[in-house]
Amino acid sequence: MQWDQLRDLLALQDRLDGLLGGEASGWTPAVDLYETADQYVVLVELPGLRRDDVSIDARADRLTLRGVRRPPDGGPPRFLQLERGHGPFVRTFAFGDPIDVDGVRADFREGLLTVTVPKREQSGPRRIPVTT
């Protein structure tokens, strides 16, 4: 398996959050993150979750996803095999560019959460007219 630096850093961040008093993570959903010229797009696999099971917080340069996957109602008292994690999760993504917090949009369909995070327009150099 090829070494994935980003995945390893995110896993380390989750562990440190737990050690430093952050929320404990019961499982970690798979995430793809890509960037275009004007936005970031975060794709999160959340099979079996409902829209109400997930919350999204955006700040100047980061996005935090929180949620919980509950065990099946009336499920067996003891699992013979358990590969799908249950419980809370927290994922935080820090971006290299400031983001437009008011423009963040989320769409949840068929177990896939798509969060579109627009980059905030940077003000470049501008000529200032001098008046008398």
| Residue 6 backbone dihedrals phi, psi, to 5 degrees | -65, -45
Domain spans of the chain, in order of start: 25-70+87-122
Which distant-in-sequence residues (6+ apart) come within 8 Å of 105 by Cβ? 115, 116
Write down the pTM of the prediction: 0.72
The pLDDT tens digits for 88-117 are 999 999 988 889 999 999 999 999 999 999
Dihedral over alpha carbons 87, 29, 33, 52 (to 10 degrees): -50
pLDDT at 16 over 80: no
The pLDDT tens digits for 36-77 are 999 999 999 999 899 999 999 999 889 999 999 887 776 666
At residue 131, the pLDDT reads 76
Name the more confident of 93 and 83: 93
Token output for 55 = 């919350």
Q: Does domain 25-70+87-122 have CATH number 3.40.50.1860?
A: no
At residue 106, the pLDDT reads 97
